């Protein structure tokens, strides 16, 4: 997001803070340890006065260089130090580290990420620099493209020892929106889109329908083999679990209400 200073020296906040709500995402650690090859993310909506939106608007130097190269700059904000949104235990976050990788060929840190984007990064909140809603599918596609296509090229170049400027430029040339969209087509052609919600390889609607069918089938089998009493007990247990999950999903809103004046 824009951080251009005004005459008074105060960072100008972008126009998105005038909008009541904006959609961002939280990248949860860690895609390699928790779910190999899958990106763990969830959508988050922030009201204009939310502390995360203020931090994203005022932060300096946290725009993902790779996302800028791919045509959709995003701002990353670490969520786990002093922002009470969701569950935020510390841990490595490969998706965030990849998004903050240095890709400028002339830079000595090419192919690496600098602190605080290495090590125990924890969960990371992401919003678009231009203040528009961030579609989680776009963010996940970028992360998967970096993980499965760009990262191997960088590792190959770095493993050879001294990396020539020509080799760095070759990798940079590969990081384009066109190649990312080709990668998306390859994922769909292989029958594994890999960019759907929660990294489960299916659309939200398909996941919902599958869940409902499984739910109905499960209770039908319980009723048939265990009787109505057991079925009622299972329903009660399900309702308890439903309340817990609902509270967890509503926690960001509750946290905002509690900390909106900070």
Q: Is residue 137 located within the same domain as residue 253? A: no
Rounded-to-integer distance, Cα 196 and Cα 67, Å: 19
Is residue 4 assigned to a domain?
A: no
Is residue 224 assigned to a domain?
A: yes
Rounded-to-integer distance, Cα 181 and Cα 62, Å: 25
Q: Is residue 164 located within the same domain as residue 262? A: no
Among 123, 70, 72, smallest CA distance to 96 is for 123
Domain stop point among 153, 179, 201? 201
pLDDT per residue as tens digits for the range 35-85:
444 556 777 776 655 656 566 556 544 889 999 999 999 988 887 544 444
pLDDT per residue as tens digits for the range 109-123:
898 888 788 877 878
Q: Is residue 143 located within the same domain as residue 78? A: yes
CB-CB contact of 43 with 126 (8 Å): no
Terminal CA-to-CA distance of the chain, rounded, Å?
A: 21
Domain stop point among 201, 220, 247? 201
Q: What is the pLDDT along the chain (262 residues), one digit of tens a residue?
A: 333 333 333 333 344 445 567 788 888 765 444 444 455 677 777 665 565 656 655 654 488 999 999 999 998 888 754 444 444 445 678 888 899 999 999 888 898 888 788 877 878 888 888 878 888 889 989 999 999 999 999 988 888 777 888 889 999 999 999 999 999 998 888 776 554 433 333 344 444 566 677 767 776 777 777 777 877 787 778 777 777 766 655 544 444 444 444 4
Q: How many domains does the chain have?
A: 2
Domain that includes residue 64, residue range: 15-201
Q: Phi and psi for 106 in degrees, rounded to 5?
A: -80, -5
CB-CB contact of 26 with 126 (8 Å): yes
């Amino acid at each position: 997001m824009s951080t251009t200073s005004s005459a008074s020296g105060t960072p100008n906040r972008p126009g998105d803070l005038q909008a009541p709500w904006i959609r961002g995402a939280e990248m949860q650690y860690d895609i390699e340890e928790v779910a190999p090859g899958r990106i763990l993310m969830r959508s988050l909506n922030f009201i204009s006065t939310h502390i995360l939106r203020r931090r994203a608007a005022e932060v300096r130097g946290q725009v993902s260089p790779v996302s800028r190269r791919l045509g959709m700059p995003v701002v990353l904000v670490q969520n786990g130090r002093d922002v009470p949104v969701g569950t935020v235990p510390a841990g490595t976050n490969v998706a965030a580290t990849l998004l903050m990788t240095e890709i400028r060929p002339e830079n000595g840190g090419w192919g690496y990420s600098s602190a605080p984007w290495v090590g125990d990064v924890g969960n990371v909140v992401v919003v678009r620099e231009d203040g528009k809603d961030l579609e989680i599918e776009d963010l996940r596609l970028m992360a998967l493209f970096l993980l499965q296509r760009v990262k191997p090229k960088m590792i190959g170049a770095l493993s050879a020892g001294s990396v020539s400027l020509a080799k760095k430029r070759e990798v940079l040339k590969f990081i384009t929106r066109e190649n990312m969209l080709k990668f998306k087509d390859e994922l769909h052609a292989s029958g594994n889109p890999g960019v759907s919600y929660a990294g489960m390889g299916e659309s939200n609607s398909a996941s919902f329908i599958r869940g409902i069918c499984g739910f109905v089938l499960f209770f039908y089998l319980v009723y048939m083999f265990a009787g109505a009493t057991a079925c009622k007990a299972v329903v009660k247990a399900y309702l308890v679990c439903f309340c817990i999950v609902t509270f967890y999903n509503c926690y960001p809103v509750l946290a905002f209400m509690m900390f909106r004046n900070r």
